[in-house]
């Protein structure tokens, strides 16, 4: 099934280039970008948030991703899978931001996690315990090597297949699987070590 | 939460609790804040225009003065030609003002002193005093003894002896080639 943006582009690409007026072309590009925003802004936000774990930084990253799309709108027609392409753009942006700032994510704070994560039907004590557990897990994720951490974070998104993760990270699918295997083993070791310390 | 069979985490893990994947899934499934699409649309609308486009003529000038086709094509060509003319003219102006007679810096080689041999002074202002090298001094022979010696060369064994070596003023005591040659070699 074709997405909204793909439908718009399919119709736009059928028009011969010579006959397309510059204004009409630009209007079509704007409409396609607008459709991309409506369709994928939320998904891109979640990808950005999973790395930055700061709501305002994640939203800034989404805006920057779409600004880059706007700057390279001529190449939009050549893109086959807009979703993976956009995730790749926002992924590079958030990694770059994280590298530059090198600050701890905001939600490593247990209180902040308890506020952000869903807590329906839980008592205050349960919420606090869950937040503490999640903070511990996220702390272990931060201690993973970068390659393993990236695969682990992306694989948490239900909608991404291993092929798509491989495309986002520019690696092979077998590398995705081997890195994920290593990441899981390391995570199990780190969590066991955390438990033994308590 | 729907599960994607092609997702590596879903297909390979049984529970996921041991690796903290429940936490990651929870983070990954957090809803986006309200109105994020509108804010992105707003940011895109307020984005600066694209760079690197051909500068368009002001619409009023174009529509009043010239028809659309001329104003867009012919005038652009004329403007481009004018720019080329100015650039080439400026370049020619600079080139024509450069004095052609000026020569570059040339280092003049010192003239060689005629009659001198060996190493030249290479134009040096001062040259150190050098010791005189070894000179060969010709042995002075008396004028009357020349005929006697010519006669003695005829058949006498003594005449076949090599002549006395030339005496060098230097202190070298090495014999010359004529000194060491055996008499038999000379007689041949």
| Tens digit of each residue's pLDDT (9 = 90 or more) over B104-161 | 666 777 666 665 566 666 777 787 777 777 777 777 666 555 544 444 444 444 444 4
Torsion angles phi and psi, residue B168, rounded to 5: -95, 145
Residue pLDDT, tens place only, A133-188: 888 888 888 889 999 999 999 998 877 899 999 999 999 999 999 999 999 999 99
Classify B51 as helix, strand or coil.
coil
Instruction: Answer yes or no: is pLDDT of A91 > 70.
Output: yes
B49-75 per-position pLDDT tens digit: 665 555 555 555 555 655 555 566 788
Looking at residue A148, its pLDDT comes to: 92
pLDDT at A142: 87
Q: To 10 degrees, the CA torsion angle through A39, A44, A49, A50?
A: 110
Chain A closest CA to B15's CA: distance in Å?
12
Report whether pLDDT(A27) > 90. no
Output the pLDDT for position B131.
76
pTM of the model: 0.56
Q: Give the separation between CA A12 and CA B67, rounded to whole angstroms.
A: 30
Distance separating the N- and C-terminal Cα atoms of chain B: 122
* Whole-number pLDDT of residue B129: 77
Lowest mean pLDDT among B20-24, B139-143, B174-178: B174-178
- Cα distance between residue A168 and residue A165, in whole Å: 5
Q: Please name the member of A50, A162, A183 whose beta carbon is closest to the beta carbon of B27.
A: A50
CA distance B165 to B178: 7
pLDDT score recorded for residue A94: 93
Q: Which of residues 36-75 of B touch A (CB under 8 A)?
A: 36-37, 39-41, 43-44, 47, 50
Residue B185 has pLDDT above 50, yes or no: no
Q: Which of A192, A172, A182 is nearest to A148 (CA)?
A: A182
Is the per-residue pLDDT at B87 higher than 50? Answer: yes
pLDDT of residue B56: 58
Residues in chain B: 188
d(CA A71, CA A180): 34
Residue A170 pLDDT? 92
Q: Which residue has the higher pLDDT, A5 or B35?
A: B35
Task: Look at B20 and A141 and tell me if their CB atoms are within 8 Å.
Answer: yes
Spell out the domains of chain A, with CATH numbers in brackets.
Answer: 1-103 (1.10.1740)
List, for residues A29-43, the tens digit of each pLDDT value. Answer: 888 888 999 999 999
Rounded CA-CA distance B23/A136 in Å is 10
ipTM of this complex prediction, to 2 decimal places: 0.75
Q: Would you state the pLDDT for residue B171?
A: 44
Mutate to test the interface with A, among B16, B19, B25, B50 (most CBs of A within 10 A): B19
Contact between A158 and B3 (Cβ < 8 Å) = yes
- B183 pLDDT band (50/70/90 cuts)? very low
- What string of H, E and C letters represents the secondary structure of A134-178? HHHHHHHHHHCCHHHHHHHHHHCCCCCCHHHHHHHHCCCHHHHHH
């Amino acid at each position: 099934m074709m997405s909204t943006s793909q439908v718009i582009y399919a119709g736009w690409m059928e028009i011969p280039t010579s006959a397309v007026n510059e204004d009409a072309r630009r209007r079509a590009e704007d409409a396609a970008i607008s459709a991309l925003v409506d369709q994928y802004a939320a998904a891109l936000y979640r990808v950005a948030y999973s790395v930055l774990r700061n709501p305002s930084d994640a939203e800034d990253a989404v805006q920057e991703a779409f600004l880059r799309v706007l700057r390279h709108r001529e190449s939009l027609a050549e893109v086959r899978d807009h979703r993976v392409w956009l995730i790749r753009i926002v992924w590079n942006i958030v990694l770059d931001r994280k590298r530059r700032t090198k600050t701890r994510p905001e939600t490593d704070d247990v209180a902040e996690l308890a506020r952000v994560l869903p807590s329906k039907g839980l008592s205050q004590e349960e919420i606090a315990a869950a937040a503490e557990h999640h903070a511990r897990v996220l702390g272990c994720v931060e201690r993973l090597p970068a390659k393993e951490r990236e695969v682990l974070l992306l694989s948490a998104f239900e909608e991404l297949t291993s092929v798509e993760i491989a495309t986002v990270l520019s690696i092979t699918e077998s590398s995705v699987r081997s890195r994920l295997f290593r990441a899981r083993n390391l995570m199990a070791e780190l969590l066991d070590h955390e438990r033994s310390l308590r | 939460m729907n599960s994607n069979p092609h997702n590596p985490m879903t297909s390979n893990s049984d529970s996921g609790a041991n690796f903290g994947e429940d936490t990651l899934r929870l983070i990954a499934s957090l809803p986006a804040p309200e109105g994020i699409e509108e804010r992105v649309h707003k940011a895109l609308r307020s984005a600066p225009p694209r760079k690197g486009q051909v500068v368009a003529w002001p619409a009023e000038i174009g529509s009043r003065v010239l028809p659309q086709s001329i104003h867009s094509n012919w005038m652009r060509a004329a403007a481009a030609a004018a720019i080329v003319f100015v650039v080439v003219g400026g370049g020619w102006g600079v080139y024509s003002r450069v004095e052609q007679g000026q020569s570059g810096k040339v280092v003049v080689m010192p003239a060689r002193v005629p009659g001198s041999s060996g190493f030249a002074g290479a134009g040096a202002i001062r040259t150190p005093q050098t010791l005189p090298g070894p000179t060969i001094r010709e042995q002075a022979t008396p004028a009357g003894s020349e005929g006697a010696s010519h006669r003695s060369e005829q058949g006498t064994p003594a005449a076949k002896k090599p002549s006395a070596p030339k005496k060098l003023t230097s202190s070298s005591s090495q014999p010359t080639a004529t000194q060491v040659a055996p008499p038999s070699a000379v007689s041949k």
